[in-house]
Structure 1
């Protein structure tokens, strides 16, 4: 039976919901009576019993199978009748009043009648429950899964409805997905061929871009299982190269519904409000389509990509919410790039049709998008088969340079493709780190400093004097001007701040360090670190060495992770 053939919450019956509820906290002996006529639990209202009444109301909600606590709010899972998309929806206070009146028989003792009489839920108790910051009975809901997904132990959740271990709600028809219990490498290769057919006619610039697109498809299929995952930028040189088309193909492995485009904003405060509002609903995909400018970092956007949860204040509600960041994030645009801190968070997929008019191209399978959407379970199953085959194989034989913040993604979405003979999907990451404008400027200053001053401690004032006497005829002087220009000259104070900001950051085996502790006389020194490099290291071996351990692998990006500018 398809999800749309029945009410949404038929997947989670009250009986099933009761099985996963926590026991009442110690010290609370809450007995929910039952109204014989309506077969509803009875909540008796009396003075001096506020805390028990609110607890009974919460327990009644928890037994419905459709009420949860999500991001610190009371919430339900609902399907939009217009788009068909299923989302987590915070419950409003009026809706809570209605639900409590429907789920329980509220009664108050009437002395004149010497009996209990029916009443509506008193607003006082509804308001207190709505504004609570601590729910003792409602099950926690961290997100929605739109296809089978992996638990932390790599077992596959194949049943729809609420899963207590992962705190996710599955909205899918389990019968459509037939992932082998113990797939082999041959099964994985066949599954890879199925996915590769979908993107066969996409105009990738290089094989690493094709591998990155496949990694994005694996990410889309298994995003509920990953704490963090990189965002993906689909980049091209000209309109009509197929950026939005590829984004839709990738997104189809996350959700059966079409994904609306979201407008990107460079305003940090607006980006924070936007992302919190979106993530509260547990979207499958956030798609910043057809961007006109570079991907500029903001604190919230950076955290959404590299953290499992973010905290913020919800507009219109005096509550701080904690949102799961479990969503696939896509960007697309022409000749744009992820700059500064975003360079290590966004993996580029470069398209290049190598023709003057890409929109005039003819395709052998022009309806591939409809084929994918019409048989989505087939392609999601293929993606999950690849990942499961890699897990069943023992996850050995592939050693690649780790990526800071994305170890799970490397294990489940990157290594399986390398294992099957694909190029490293993360290759563009290292190219981006080298081509980042901030990193390039640091490299120019480091190289010029090395050639002019070597490794001797040097005052900022002396550097500025040298650059002024040179008359800006060297690349080093030009780089200093870019770093610390003020009214057409190199400003010593600004250059000192720039050096402080980039101190300790290694580029091409060099870094700046402060020399001495005097406040009146600050010197800077270039230090050589030949043992560190950010060049990618990729090895595919038949058997791992006995001493190999992923915990012992040197991660050059992890050192950069804590430094400013990345």
Structure 2
């Protein structure tokens, strides 16, 4: 922005003429000279002139973000650029956008249009006016501008007289407009893109008969009109603002306070505003809130600055590292003036500067102290209750993934000490003395099973999610109290609420392109892989969902890599684990994994069948699992809203898992025996273009919903016939894909061949006894004795081709059925004539006396 602004003052207007204009060419109209004027008497306004009016005067280093996208704007991600690149990035034959907010530069000095870098909110734009929003709802308030962005669909912009610096206030205004039905719910957030007037709408559905894109039109232009927040609330008769939902992992100023029902003798609540901030405001020294607890201020020692330049001074609120906050001035006295000097200037004591509530440990009031402690934990925004335990949200500094950690002595004690002042009161010392959180109190919190103040956490969503009760798409991050879901994601562009079948087909192509180099055994398997992507994306919204298993006849065909692509849709980092070999091992590992609320659990390179361990069965068909935590004398209930996927060579689900696992089969290696190679990098594409991929998934689901939720005439799956089928099965069948659940039905059908398997094993034993034989010996016997019971039994299995019994398929069948007991016989792998072979053994049933009855359960008080 240095080439646009004169940085010698704190605020300068954008000069439209200073924005470089590229020479006009023969293929596209010049960005600064609109191809046509607006509607009626609306003048022709260039994009540069348009932005100069919208953003008025900017502060030093305040960045305006623009973006230009060629062709279909639904493809590809968002690549923001500074306004200085307007001409090069936004010729009028592109989809051109600007951001309603301005942004502070990153630490490296670059532009990143994310909420974390929010600077100021300059205008509110009402989207979908004329379609979703009736024109009569807004006609009485003349906007600063209106742009027709698609046939009969408009964006109405209202420039704010004073840009909003508090993200909470911005959210209040946006929510009030959305709640009043004045705009699309997707048009919210700190990083929200809106269209420029000189541009196209390249979505294919808006092309004319000649295939030309719709051209946006400026239909209203009132450059002198601007509005205060109060004026907008009054003019549109908006409801009084309610507190916004704020992400607890981001430190924003709170606009409201929770209440606590605890005696004032025990709990002294901190003031609603930091006392230093209040003092700065009272003395006219506070300029603006910068976000993340930072405030730009006028230095109290301005008279010591060279030429009394009023810039470069910041106060930041208390943090774990700086319990009293901090003061930084870039001028010569910066090393001498500290936060303690600031306190002295305003006569604020150090305890008040920490801006913490006080808990007073009064004899005989331990229950009140416990309530106060719970309240303090809940106020951090990082502590929740789940399944009878205190849970902390933890953000991995290297991956950015948010998971949960069950509270323990150390974490609870530390949180209480950091977030409150603790005072021990006694009969001898009425005023009290500073102390640490009592050990007894911490143990009470650990042993409790329910809590008054910490909010309930049901799931963590790493992308926009559907409300489990009403199916509403939740686009905002942070904690949603009604669903108990915490959204650990940035706001994403959303233009999907009106998604059509054509939009869904484009979105489906985006997903299937990721699979183009994988060789599936059938199109049903490809459909199952797409369904896995949808399941991974919306798993936090689903009470139940099947697991997925990727398998192939040999190595080197991309099983693990396909799973990596799919797991990318779940977000975060998957919990990778070895598949448990015993039920006891399964119980311990599954509970410990689910305690962290991972986005996905991945069992890679399994060397055993997908065994139906009891806890795994419950994880896939029950919303919760209750068990005792290893090493802790406490029973907890964990949620199972985690995506589960596995892989292995010739691995199959067994028994109860047949109805809980959808298998994805990849084809064998190439004929020369070389494993698959990939020219592209779909896993990296999912990681770097994740917003686009998630939008593709949600577009498919939204389009299916908008079409009336058509459901195909396919068999229902007992545990997965509702939400999972609605989000991850029926939309794909509607788009023409095979039923992604077909493999599950095939597995169940094949299991019904148990009688034929029993007949085969019985006749086999009568012929060969317990002697080991090769597959070729078995095939030869069946060929030479085609009228035998053994040959008849083999006819029941799908392993025949034009030449008769296929040895490879026969071997695969035997491997799948190994160790299974049917009709008193068991099939075992062995050696025969120096080669891999098989034998059948007769199982002797051991009769054991019944176990003594269990004692009656103890009475549990209600």
Same fold (TM over 0.5): yes
Instruction: Spell out, residue by residue over 1:89-122, the C-alpha distance to the aligned partner (whole angstroms, 9 max, x if none).
Output: 1122122112112211221235555523222212
* 8 A contact 1:32–1:41 mirrored in 2: yes
Counterpart in 2 of 1:348?
Answer: 663
Distance 2:374 2:845 in 1: 63
Distance 1:82 1:311 in 2: 32
Q: How does 1:7-156 map to 2 (within 5 A)?
A: 9-11=248-250, 15=254, 32-34=267-269, 37=352, 38-112=354-428, 114-152=430-468, 153-156=470-473
Distance 1:321 1:242 in 2: 38
* 8 A contact 2:518–2:666 mirrored in 1: yes
Instruction: Spell out, residue by residue over 1:377-426, the C-alpha distance to the aligned partner (whole angstroms, 9 max, x if none).
Output: 10111001101111222212522210010022111100000000111111
Distance 2:549 2:360 in 1: 57
Please state which structure has a larger fraction of its residues in helix.
1
Provide the secondary structure at the position in 2 that maps to 1:68: strand
User: Who wins on radius of gyration, i.e. which is larger?
Assistant: 2
Provide the secondary structure at the position in 2 that maps to 1:235: strand
* CA distance 1:359–1:314, shift in 2 (3 Å): farther
Alignment pair present for 1:376 and 2:611 = no
* 8 A contact 1:187–1:386 mirrored in 2: yes
Counterpart in 1 of 2:621?
Answer: 306
Distance 1:97 1:205 in 2: 55
Q: How does 1:486-501 map to 2 (within 5 A)?
A: none
Shift of 1:132: 1.0
* CA distance 1:274–1:194, shift in 2 (3 Å): same
- TM-score of the superposed pair, with normalisation by structure 1: 0.75
In terms of mean alpha carbon deviation, does 34-43 or 275-284 score higher? 34-43
Alignment pair present for 1:398 and 2:712 = yes
Counterpart in 2 of 1:386?
Answer: 700
* 8 A contact 1:228–1:409 mirrored in 2: yes
Gaps of 5+ in 2: 1-112, 119-245, 271-350, 763-787, 795-816, 827-839, 848-862
Provide the secondary structure at the position in 2 that maps to 1:261: strand
CA RMSD of aligned residues (A): 3.2
Counterpart in 2 of 1:429?
Answer: 744
Provide the secondary structure at the position in 2 that maps to 1:144: strand
Provide the secondary structure at the position in 2 that maps to 1:395: coil
Distance 1:126 1:262 in 2: 32
Shift of 1:296: 1.1
Shift of 1:440: 2.5
* CA distance 1:18–1:308, shift in 2 (3 Å): farther
Alignment pair present for 1:159 and 2:499 = no
* 8 A contact 2:425–2:433 mirrored in 1: yes
* CA distance 1:10–1:270, shift in 2 (3 Å): closer
Distance 2:825 2:634 in 1: 44
Instruction: Spell out, residue by residue over 1:181-232, the C-alpha distance to the aligned partner (whole angstroms, 9 max, x if none).
Output: 1211111111001111011111011110010000001101111111111111
* CA distance 1:114–1:209, shift in 2 (3 Å): closer
Provide the secondary structure at the position in 1 that maps to 2:630: coil
* 8 A contact 1:14–1:64 mirrored in 2: no
Matching residue within 210, 218, 222 for 2:538: 222
Provide the secondary structure at the position in 1 that maps to 2:662: strand
Alignment pair present for 1:483 and 2:823 = yes
Provide the secondary structure at the position in 2 that maps to 1:232: strand
Gaps of 5+ in 1: 450-472, 495-566
Distance 1:490 1:374 in 2: 55
* CA distance 1:18–1:265, shift in 2 (3 Å): farther
* CA distance 1:64–1:199, shift in 2 (3 Å): same
* CA distance 1:16–1:277, shift in 2 (3 Å): farther
Q: How many residues align?
A: 462
Counterpart in 2 of 1:329?
Answer: 644
Counterpart in 2 of 1:442?
Answer: 755
Instruction: Spell out, residue by residue over 1:301-335, the C-alpha distance to the aligned partner (whole angstroms, 9 max, x if none).
Output: 11111111111111121111111111111111111
